[in-house]
Amino acid sequence: MSSVTSSTTELSRDQLVAFISDEYPKVVAAVALITGDRAGAEDSVQDALASLWQRRDGFRPDNLAAWVTVVATNRSRSAQRRHGAEARAVGRLDRPDPAVADTSARLADADLVARALERLPEQQRKVAVLHYLGDHSVSDIAAALDLSEGTVKTHLSRARAALSDALNQGADL
């Protein structure tokens, strides 16, 4: 399964500016949610973008945002492993501050989802974030993660069930 197109046109600076304007904040947020490392997320996303834009072999992912999210996540994970920081990073994951959080359902849901995400297996978390935050289709997620669409659907279904449980339990509190 390949996410490479046949285009040999090099990516331009204009395309990078457009990506930064339209996709960059959401991609950084997605990586931060998956890895639990907000500071490292932006660094990894920039690293992935720099590497891609410096390539001269015509490689262009079909879905740039999904591809950058996955590559940056992998890079962030590698860095975390090297630094043994994963456990600490998860604890740094920003959530809506309960002290100032209002009682609105939306913020409450976000908090519950953030907590539930931390407990999800890595692949489920990736798929859920790519789908619900990145707004990527199953086929695009499958291509970016190099998985079959069936596998992605399974991960998404399980993640959805776990997140649903979290929301329901939160509602019972």
Partner 1 sequence: MSEHDPLDERLSEAFKQLGGTHSPAVGDPQVLADRILDRPTGASVDGPRGPRASGLPWRFLAVLGAVALAGVATGAWAGATRSAPASAVVELGSVTLFDCPGGGYLGRLTSGDRIVLTGRTADSKWVELRDPTDLSARAWVDAAAVEADNDIAGLAVSECGGTVTTAPTSIPEETSTTLVEETTTLVEETIPPSTSTAPPPVSSTTVPRQSTTTAPPGPSPTPAPTPAPDRTGPTLSNVGASPNPIWTQAQPGVPCPPAKSKLTTTVNAAVSDPSGVASVHLEWAVNGRSGTANMAPVGGTWRGTIGPFAPDTLPTSGAGMNQAVTVTVRATDAAGNTSSQNISFELRSSAECFG
Q: What is the DSSP-derived secondary structure letter of residue 8? A: -
Assess 144 for contact with partner 1 (CB under 8 A). Answer: no
Among positions 24-43, residues that touch partner 1 (CB under 8 A) are: 24-26, 28-30, 32-33, 37-43
Quick one: 28 or 147, whose CB is closer to partner 1? Answer: 28
Assess 121 for contact with partner 1 (CB under 8 A). Answer: no
Q: Which tokens belong to 4?
A: 């490479």
Assess 138 for contact with partner 1 (CB under 8 A). Answer: yes
Measured between its terminal Cα atoms, the distance across the chain in Å is: 44
How many chain residues bind partner 1 (CB under 8 A)?
A: 71
Task: Tell me the CA distances in angstroms from 112 to 28, 73, 78, 158, 169, one per residue in order.
Answer: 20, 22, 27, 16, 9
φ, ψ for residue 85, nearest 5 deg: -100, 0
Among positions 91-110, residues that touch partner 1 (CB under 8 A) are: 94-96, 106-107, 109-110
Distance CA 34, CA 69 (A): 9
Quick one: 30 or 147, whose CB is closer to partner 1? Answer: 30
Out of 52, 145, 147, 152, which residue is the one contacting partner 1 (CB under 8 A)? 52
Assess 145 for contact with partner 1 (CB under 8 A). Answer: no
Quick one: 51 or 121, whose CB is closer to partner 1? Answer: 51
Q: Which tokens belong to 172?
A: 């019972």
Out of 69, 71, 73, 142, which residue is the one contacting partner 1 (CB under 8 A)? 71
Among positions 73-92, residues that touch partner 1 (CB under 8 A) are: 74-75, 78-79, 82-83
Distance CA 75, CA 79 (A): 6
> If you search the block for the tokens 């409450």, which residue do you land on?
108
